[in-house]
Amino acid sequence: MLNKSAKLSPKIFDKDIDQKPTRDGYGQGLVVAGEKNPNVVVLCADLTESTRSHLFAEKFPERFFEVGVAEQNLATIASGLGVSGKIPFVSSYATFSPGRNWEQIRTTISYNDSNVKIAGAHAGISVGPDGATHQAIEDIATMRVMANMKVFVPCDAVEAEKATVAAAKIWGPVYLRFGREKMPVFTTEETPFTPGKAEIFWESSGKGSRAKKPQVAIIGCGSLVHNALLAAKDLEEEGIGTMVINNHTIKPLDEKTILEAAERCGAVVTVEEHQVLGGLGGAISELLARKLPMPMEFVGMQNTFGESGEPKELIEKYGMGAKDIKAAVKKVLKRKR
């Protein structure tokens, strides 16, 4: 059942649930952060409206910088601002930033611990018709291995706004990952959000239903957290108990919450709109390999590129729908037994 302390939307399983892209939350978060702190500035690489940076540009035109199609310059200019007392946010598609300017981010931002926030929009295969060249499915992996870098992957537009505002208050480099497609808005203003703190959204109790107590911990991030909740609801009706954890901070990882959940359940399934190698699944498996080895399954892109198509169709084709999460839970349960 839903965790009451998570304070999620009562419409979470309704077909008419509100839907917004997480990039909308980023744009709104920029405005809020800019209102709170005059040192917040925003730079963009010729994708102002697509990344929703235009909301900040309209509100604070004197603090907005259009760099043009030059992602390497975007990073290096921001790095200078970040060591000069400003709090720069750089906005582009994730395939371009950090995709095209990874070396500049590494050398001029992370190496210098410059106070820069990198927003990678249009991430994942849900970019849809834009196709494989624009579907960033490696960015979590490439950014989380970078020293000094923090990595946030919000699950909906409300959480995206909170993550953006929080990033402005944190010293040092932060990577924020956002999507293009509209997705369910199932968290609320009251839903807890603390950088570095994973939140339990669902926990089977074994009371009042056929479900047993949690047998598998489903740990997700980003857009697929909602699919994980849909899967958990179906599994409970089948008598399979689960726990769903929204792990919005990939780095630093909330080791305490994850280890406690894993110890209680004895098996883990990770869920992400990203390659299963190196992303959330990689981070969780590294932790468990060191401290609590157990059966795991990984839902995500399985060492392949995407293709052009409708976002929901691609999610299903590449094995990231609710039915695929259910299948992964049942598979890991067999291994656990």
Q: Which residues are catalytic?
A: 71
The span from the CA of 282 to the CA of 302, in Å, is: 13
Beta strands in 174-213 (DSSP E): 174-177, 183-184, 199-203
Residue where the block lists tokens 């037994």: 337
Q: Give 265: exposed, middle or buried? Use CB within 10 Å, 0-12, 13-18, 19+.
A: buried
Q: Which of 97, 288, 236, 235 is nearest to 176 (CA)?
A: 97
The span from the CA of 327 to the CA of 227, in Å, is: 13
Beta strands in 172-241 (DSSP E): 174-177, 183-184, 199-203, 216-220
Say how many CA atoms lie within 13 Å of 92 toward its Cβ: 30
Helix residue ranges per DSSP H, 145-254: 157-169, 224-237
Q: Which of 198, 216, 173, 147 is nearest to 87 (CA)?
A: 173
Strands 87-93 and 117-121: parallel
Strands 150-152 and 249-251: antiparallel
